[in-house]
Amino acid sequence: MSALLSVEGIQVIYQRAIVGVHDVSFKAQAGQIIVLLGANGAGKTTTLRAITGFLGLDDAKVGQGHILFDGTRIENLPPYETARGGIILVPEREKVFPNLTVSENLAVPVAYRVTRSERMHREDLVYEMFPRLAVLRRRVGGLLSGGERQMLGLACALVSHPQLLLIDELSLGLAPIVLEALMQQIVRIRDELGIGIVMVEQNAVAALAIADYAYVLENGRIAIEGLPQDLRKGDQMQQSYFGGSGASGQRSYRDLKRDARQGLFDG
């Protein structure tokens, strides 16, 4: 079975000179949650931007490799085209329109040809999934709390009927209990809607708990991949990601610096 999304050896170059991502390959199927882990600057967000087409904003582009979505090459397409094609990104920080009400926020992403009744129908469905938003539907986005914004971000993505949902840092700034509830909603989205989900996460514990498959990025490359239960046990993972309670013990600050330097210069 061909994958819904297939990233094949992409290299991302910033400003024609700096290599941000060296050689990243991974696949995502429909009805699957894929998690991309990695430290800051590992290339996770850059990879998401390569898929959605947002690289252009930073004068970057995919230099080598391909991104296939449903069998079609999509690398270097503008963001609104990938979005209309069915790939919706829930961005890392700003994700709601502060000047529009919740209900208006939900109307923005719905495609032009969709009728009013269908729009209302989709709105009702996300209210069912996030009842809190139904209560708040006349409130402007700027007055929502962090958790409510995250819900609205997800809801906005869902009303546009994506085939593939990309979520950048769901856990950012959320209390553990709020995050837990949202993670459960993501599992529900996967199970009920059968769409593919790619999550970029710092919170490895929470993400691996719901993942079907995970990749760990390091210095713009896939360092480790595997099933979540294997990754949680793996030595290498402990070492490179959780800060080294694994067999080789704590890594010194100097080691970390050396690694970082290598990452910077070996492009």
Partner 1 sequence: MSDNSLTTSSSGHRIHHQGHVRSLRWTRWVPFGLLTLGLVSFAFVGSPFTLDLASQVFLASIGSLSLMLLTGFAGQISIGHAGLIAAGAYVVGIMSREWHAPFWLTLPAATISGGVLGTIFGLPSLRLRGLYLAVSTLALHFIVIYAGGEYEAWRGYATGITIDSPKIGEWEISSELAWYFVLLGAAFMTLTICWNLLRSRTGRAWGAIRTRETVAEALGINIARYKLLAFVISSSITAAAGALFAYNRNFVSVEAFSLYLSIQYVAMIIIGGMGSLLGAILGAVFVTLLPYAIEGTVGLLPHAERYVNELSALNYSAFGLVTIAFLLFEPRGLVGIWRRLQAKGMSWPSWNTH
Out of 7, 45, 54, 170, the residue judged to bind partner 1 by CB under 8 A: 54
The answer to whether the CB of 79 falls within 8 A of the CB of 53 is: yes
Task: Return the structure tokens found at 256.
Answer: 């970390």
Instruction: Determine if 221 is a binding residue for partner 1 (CB under 8 A).
Output: no
* Strand ranges, E, within the chain: 5-14, 18-28, 33-38, 60-69, 72-73, 87-90, 164-168, 196-201, 213-218, 221-226
Instruction: Determine if 160 is a binding residue for partner 1 (CB under 8 A).
Output: yes
The DSSP secondary-structure symbol of 258 reads H
The answer to whether the CB of 24 falls within 8 A of the CB of 49 is: no
Instruction: Determine if 128 is a binding residue for partner 1 (CB under 8 A).
Output: yes
Nearer to partner 1 by C-beta: 35 or 165?
165
Instruction: Determine if 83 is a binding residue for partner 1 (CB under 8 A).
Output: yes
Beta bridge partners of 10: 24
**Residue 232 CB coordination number (10 Å):** 16
Instruction: Determine if 258 is a binding residue for partner 1 (CB under 8 A).
Output: no
Selected range binding partner 1 among 20-28, 49-57, 209-217, 223-231, rule: CB under 8 A = 49-57
The answer to whether the CB of 168 falls within 8 A of the CB of 89 is: yes
Nearer to partner 1 by C-beta: 61 or 84?
84
- Look at the block and give the residue holding tokens 């710092």: 202
Q: Is residue 50 exposed (0-12), middle (13-18) or buried (19+ Cβ within 10 Å)?
A: buried
Nearer to partner 1 by C-beta: 186 or 208?
186
Out of 107, 154, 197, 237, the residue judged to bind partner 1 by CB under 8 A: 107
Q: How far is the CB of 11 from partner 1 (least distance, A)?
A: 23
The answer to whether the CB of 34 falls within 8 A of the CB of 196 is: yes
Out of 24, 36, 55, 88, the residue judged to bind partner 1 by CB under 8 A: 88
Q: How far is the CB of 73 from partner 1 (least distance, A)?
A: 19
Instruction: Determine if 115 is a binding residue for partner 1 (CB under 8 A).
Output: no
Residue 39 main-chain phi, psi, to 5 deg: -75, 175
Q: How far is the CB of 139 from partner 1 (least distance, A)?
A: 13
Instruction: Determine if 61 is a binding residue for partner 1 (CB under 8 A).
Output: no
Give the interface with partner 1 as residue ranges (CB under 8 A): 30, 52, 54, 57, 78-80, 83-84, 86, 88-89, 91, 94-100, 103-104, 107-109, 111-112, 120-125, 127-128, 134, 137, 156-158, 160-163, 192-195
